[in-house]
Structures are given as structure tokens and as C-alpha cells.
Homo-oligomer: A and B are copies of this chain.
Amino acid sequence: MKAQVNIPLKNVKVDDVFWNGIQKLVRDVVVPYQEDIMEDKIPGAEKSGAIENFRIAAGQAEGEHFGMVFQDSDLAKWLEAVAYSLSIKPNPELRKKADEIIDLIRKAQEPDGYINTYFSLSHPERKWQSLHECHELYCSGHMIEAAVAYYKATGDDGFLKIMRRNADLICSLFGNEGGKRRGVPGHQEIELALLLLYDVTGEKSYLDTAKYFIDDRGIEPSYFEEEIKTRGWHQWADKEDRIYAQTHKPVREQDKAVGHSVRAVYMYTAMAALAAETDDRELLDACDKLWENITHKQMYITGGIGSTVHGEAFSVDYDLPNAITYSETCASIAMCFFARRMLEIRPNGQYADVMERMLYNTILASMQLDGKQFFYVNPLEVIPGISGVVQTHKHALPQRPQWYACACCPPNLSRMLLSIGEYAWGEKTGDNSNKGEFEKKSKEFIFAHMFLGGSAKFTVAGGVTINCESGYPYEGKIRYSISTKQKTAYFHFAVHMPGWCKNAEYMVNGTKVSAAVKDGYAYFERNWEDGDVLEISLDLPVLRIYSNLAVSGNAGLVCLQKGPIVYCFEEADNPAPLAALRLPRESEITEYKISEGVLKGISALSAEGFIETGSGELYTEHPPVTKPTPLKAIPYHTWGNREVGEMRVWIRK
């Protein structure tokens, strides 16, 4: 039931005022640094061993396995980021390094296709016995994702072949058919990876095994509980929490997002991909309910999801505390994966809106502007002395830690930020069978899901290239130049109109036109000619956003948003305590560019507000005295780049 497919990264060129610098930073700073970390070359950084483990397993070095049972996944995520980096910009030296590592993986692979340095080196007798905690399937999944990306980026199928042998092993072991064994992964990931592998190979067993892993989850008797009974050893915890592991009921019956948020959303991503691939309406229904639950009841304004530190997990509806949130970076990344899969089924603006909310806020906020420090937890309120200090707030740090202290998350960010090109564009060619839910007059569509500067090549209508120029997200003018291979090309050009945008104007070749807006997309159906220009002007006002009153901690508060950018208040710009500040409804909000310091050039907001000053008593019958004060807000994704101080997204109205 795919209504459109995204354009592969190799056909997209990102050239964007906002994103160029970020991608360059990841390519030139983060990816090389991560390589050094995994080669244990950074003095003072925690040992990784991720590459050395493969050298040992490949017989090229002596020693023992170092690190976690899932240490291999660090390398996999890095290789995936490398693939995206090579897609964006060739780099022979990096390519050579990656090929050497892939060669190690080949040599470390066992004759039956098995790859996992922990078990190969430390416990070969214990393979596949603790799917609950040992994450062999998780590591394979990430390595498969890397291989698929590497194949797409380079055209070289060497790595892909290695991982196909690994996937073949998994498919031969797990399933409901005769001779196979039951098993579901403790950390979901293999499902979405097998579906990606199916996508590039067409090998049906990958699709079938992904479906098996999805459908055997939550079925009685619980696989994990059976596994624990038979296993005479354990790695960490043996106690299964069904909610935490999303095994509390069959996946198709799940309607509220629960448990470990990254695991959950990786699974929802696979569910949506499988539903699209197999026209599985029942599975799509479950995806719809889970999407609705997250985005309507369990998501922060900044795109954070998974609000509780306990199990890095979803909580219950409307439990969205600002200061003690978890909002793991990887969970917001996972949500982009899920959104992208839903978009393939149904071009509906809500999915693209959520992608933007994630990308421009929590995901970007997780990285220091210099690319050298990272947040795993993304709070919406920080009070130094409490945040990161008291036990309830221990996880919600006021400053990004030195990133090398935990090498497992930055590469997830790297692969996300280097692959945004793949999220921006889609097409539906006439060749696609007409299974989509959504009406269409013509069979050929081009979709712009995000306003991403640069160009993309499409196969519709005999071949089309579209170039996008914009100052988005800070400016609302977008200019699309259309090149057609043939003289004219008849297709619908569907451009995502963000949910926050109430008015837009459209011009084709300088003449104002109207568009049919449906489900958050403006459709321009036209016999496009080579050289046509579509210009879009979005109204891009600063909005005051109010929270549902069921979120107790947000009542009486307001948040500022302009386009997809959510703003926050920092002590560096405002008097503390920030809880004493008020932004009245009638106060005009002005934009300005920060003129100095590390935030130089960032577009910020200012307004006249009030500050309340109390008596100093803990409790008093004397109401606080209110005085005018200027207020300043900066984009949430730039917080924490100056001296440590208070920060809050929601401010009193």
C-alpha cells in the first residue's frame, strides 16, 4: 500500500543554508572522531575496543573481547554514517578505512554466517540463548542497516553479501516453520533491518522472518519467559517486564506506546514498513493507534518521547514532566524512522510535521554546536544544583557530557543527520500499482516532505530534477526550479504545508496560483515545463503555543515556536529564577540575530515581559512584586552552549 517512496540518498544533493554546516560538522568532526574512539586512539577516553574486537575475531590480533555484548553495534552505526558521508561527498581515505573494517567483518564471520565478536570470542557455546539481554539480533540488525546503506552509497555489494549470509542464518534459525526455533529480540532492530534488506534484494525470506519476529511478540507462552527457564546463565537481568519489552500483548493489539522507547519505535517502524509492503491493514491500524497515542498524548513540544528515566521508557498519557524527562535522543531519531515509513503509506502532513519537530529540536539539541559533546537526555527545564544532581534529576544534565564517555549514541545522531536527504523527497511513479488509500487523478507524483535546500532526481514523467532554494526554517520563501528531461512532464508536485502554517502563497513562473491542499500537502498538478519555477511563501510568524491542560506541569505556561523551531529561555539571557518570568499575551515578539559569542548569527526572539520578585521567605502572604523586564529566547536546539544556567522551554503566561 505504498503511496510513495522516498528518493534514495544518492539522488539527493543537500545544499541548505541551515543543514550544510551541520552535515559538514558531522562529516569532518564527528565521524573521524568516532573512528578514533573505536580505534582507542583518544587519550583519556573510555576504551571502546569495537574495532579491535573484530581484529581479534578475524585472527589479525591477539586478545580478548572488550566491552558490552552489543559492542559491535557501535561499529555498525559508524559504518552506516560513513556510507551516508560517502554518498554526500566522496572521501577515498574514509572509503579505504571502511573497506578495511568490512574486510575484518568478513574474516570475523563464522562459516555459517554468524557475526558477533562477543559470542565468537568469549562464549561460542552460548550463541542465541539470551535473545532477551544479549542483543545478537540487535547487532545483526545494525550491521545489516550499515551494509544496505554502504551498498546504496558505493554500489559495492561486498558488505551486503556478508550481511546477507548473516541474515540467511537468522532466517534459517527463527520462525514457526518446521525445524526452526522460536525467538524474538530483546531490543527490536532486526525487524526493520530485514525489511531494508528485503527492499534491496527482494529476497522473501527476509520479509517473512521480519514478519515472524513481529507476530511472535507478545504471544503466549512468552518467549522470554520460556528462554529464562531453559537458560542456566544470565548476562544481566533475568526478570522480564512485559511492558518494558512490548511483550504484554500481541503487537497487532497494542494501542498505547509503552516500555523502552527506542525499542518500541524501532518496532513500530518495522510494523509500518511491513504493513506497507504486504498491504497489512490490521498492522497499519495498530501503527495508526500507536502513532496517535505518541503524538497526541506522549510527545514533548520539542519532539522528545519516552518521558521516564525508569527503563528509558514511555510513561502514561500526559505524563510529560519537563525537568525529569528522559526524552532520549535516539528515541526522537527512531520517531523519524517511524514517520518516514508512515509517510510512504500515506502522504499526510502530520508525519512530516513530526519529523521536523524531532529534527529541528530534540535531535539537533543533543549535539553541542562544536560537535564535541552530546546529550542523551533532553530536558525542557534545567535548574543547576538540582538538574543532574538530585537523584530524581540525576539523568537530566545541565551540560552535554564529553561525548566519548559513551560512544554508543553519537553515531546514531551521525547517521540521522547525514541521511536527512533521504527524508526530504518522495515520488510515486505511474508504474506503482494503485494500492494507495489516497485519491489521485494522475498516477505520477513528486513529494517535498521537507523544505531542504539542494536538488533531487526523480524518475517520474520520464525524469525530473527539482532544485530547492530556501532560507528555511528561519525564512518562509522557498523556490523550486524544475528541470524535466522531456520537454514537459505531467505530474503532481505535492509540497508539505507544515501544520503551523496558516497561510501560504504560491507562484508558478511569477504568477500567483492556487493549490489543492489536502492532508497537509499542497498539490500542484501541471504539465511542468523544463525551467518552471514554483515559489512558495509561507507565513512564518512566531506562535505562542499552549499545552493540553492534562499536562499538569504546563498549565498556565506558554511556549514560543516559529516554524518548526521551538524556543527556550536561558539564564544567560534572562534573570533567574526563570520560573519568575512572565510573557504576557499582548507583548510583541521581535526577532533579532545574536551578534556575538558562540551563538553569533543565531536568530533569537525578544519581548517585553515581567519578572516577579518575592520576599525571600519560603512562604509568605505577600504576593510577589511584578516588574517589567525584557525577555529573550533562543532556539531550543542551541541551548546549553554558554555558561551553565537555568533553561526552560515553557514560560508563564
Q: Which of A's residues lie within 8 Å of B, judged by CB?
A: 295-297, 299, 301, 308-311, 315-319, 321, 323-324, 381, 383, 385-386, 389-392, 500, 543-553, 555-556, 559, 577, 579-580, 582, 585, 612-614, 616-624, 652-653
A interface secondary structure, majority: loop
Known contacts A319-B386, A543-B621, A652-B556; A580/B391 CB under 8 A: no
**Pick the contact of A319 from B296, B390, B582 — CB < 8 Å?**
B390
Most-contacted residue by chain B among A318, A385, A390, A391 (CB, 10 A): A390
| Shortest beta-carbon distance from A53 to chain B in Å | 32
Across-interface contacts of A553 in B (CB, < 8 A) = 553, 579
A546 touches B310 (CB 8 A): no
Tell me the complex Cα distance, A321–B582, Å.
21
Inter-chain contacts of A308 with B (CB < 8 A): 390-392
Known: A319-B386, A547-B614, A555-B580. 14 other contacts (CB 8 A): A295-B618, A308-B390, A310-B392, A316-B390, A319-B390, A381-B552, A392-B392, A544-B621, A544-B623, A549-B612, A549-B614, A550-B579, A556-B579, A559-B619
Can you show 27 pairs from A to B with CB atoms below 8 A apart? Answer: A295-B618, A310-B390, A310-B391, A310-B392, A315-B391, A316-B385, A316-B389, A317-B385, A318-B386, A319-B390, A321-B392, A381-B552, A544-B621, A545-B620, A546-B614, A546-B619, A546-B622, A548-B620, A549-B612, A549-B613, A550-B577, A550-B579, A551-B618, A555-B580, A556-B556, A556-B652, A559-B619
Interchain nearest-CB distance for A239 vs B (Å): 15
Bound-state CA distance A474–B552 (Å) is: 31
Are A301 and B619 in contact (CB-based, < 8 A)?
yes
Find chain B residues with CB under 8 A from A652 CB: 555-556
Among residues of B, the one whose C-beta sits closest to the C-beta of A648 is: B552
Shortest A245–chain B CB gap in Å is 15
Which residues on the B side are within 8 Å of A385 (C-beta)? 316-317
Known: A392-B321, A580-B555. A619 touches B549 (CB 8 A): no
- Which residue of B has the minimal Cβ distance to A297? B618
Which residues of B are found within 8 Å of A551, using beta-carbon distances? Answer: 579, 618
* Closest beta carbon of chain B to A355's beta carbon, Å: 16
Whether B321 pairs with A619 at a CB distance below 8 angstroms is no
Q: Are A585 and B321 in contact (CB under 8 A)?
A: no
In the bound complex, CA of A555 to CA of B623 (Å): 11
Write the nearest CB–CB distance from A560 to chain B, whole angstroms. Answer: 11
Q: Which residues of B contact A500 (CB under 8 A)?
A: 621
Complex contact B301–A547 (CB within 8 A): no
How far, in whole Å, are A317 and B580 apart by their CA atoms in the complex?
17
Most chain B Cβ neighbours within 10 Å, of A324, A549, A582, A585: A549
* CB contact under 8 A between A555 and B612, given known A544-B623, A549-B580, A623-B544: yes
A99 CB → nearest B CB, Å? 46
How many angstroms between the C-alpha atoms of A653 and B323 in the bound complex? Answer: 22
Of A381, A500, A619, A622, the most chain B CB neighbours within 10 A belong to A619
* Complex Cα–Cα for A543 and B622 (A): 10
Report B-chain residues with C-beta under 8 Å of the C-beta of A386: 315-316, 318-319
Residues of B within 8 A of A621 (CB): 500, 543-546
Which chain B residue shows the least CB distance to A294? B618
A234 to chain B, nearest CB (A): 22
| B contact residues around A545 at 8 Å (CB) | 619-621
With CB as the reference atom, state the residue of chain B lying closest to A558. B623
A559's closest neighbor in chain B, by CB? B619
A216–B560 Cα distance when bound, in Å, is 55
* Residue contact A618 to B390, C-beta cutoff 8 Å: no
* A389 → chain B closest CB, angstroms: 7
A617 shortest CB reach to chain B, Å:
7
With the chains together, A126 CA to B36 CA distance in Å? 54
Contact (Cβ within 8 A) A623 B390: no
Whether B580 lies near A618 (C-beta < 8 A) is: no
Across the interface, do A390 and B315 meet the contact criterion of CB distance under 8 Å?
A: yes
A263–B265 CA distance with the chains assembled, in angstroms: 44
| Chain B residues within an 8 Å CB radius of A555 | 577, 579-580, 612, 652
Among A585, A613, A616, the most chain B Cβ lie within 10 Å of the Cβ of A616
Most chain B beta-carbon neighbours within 10 Å: one of A299, A311, A620: A620
Please provide the 10 A-B residue pairs with the shortest distance between their CB atoms, ordered closest to farther.
A310-B391, A555-B579, A549-B580, A552-B579, A543-B621, A315-B390, A556-B652, A319-B386, A548-B618, A549-B614
Given A543-B621, A544-B623, A323 and B392 touching (CB < 8 A)?
Answer: no
The distance in angstroms between the C-alpha atoms of A622 and B499, with both chains bound, is 13
A484, B585: Cα distance in complex, Å: 67
Which chain B residue lies CB-closest to A579?
B555
A520 to B614, CA, bound (A): 23
Q: Is the CB of B619 within 8 A of A547?
A: yes
Q: Once the chains are docked, how many angstroms separate the CA of A543 from the CA of B614?
A: 16
For A623, the chain B residues whose CB sits under 8 A away are 544, 546, 585, 653
Determine how close the nearest CB of chain B comes to the CB of A87; give it in whole angstroms.
35
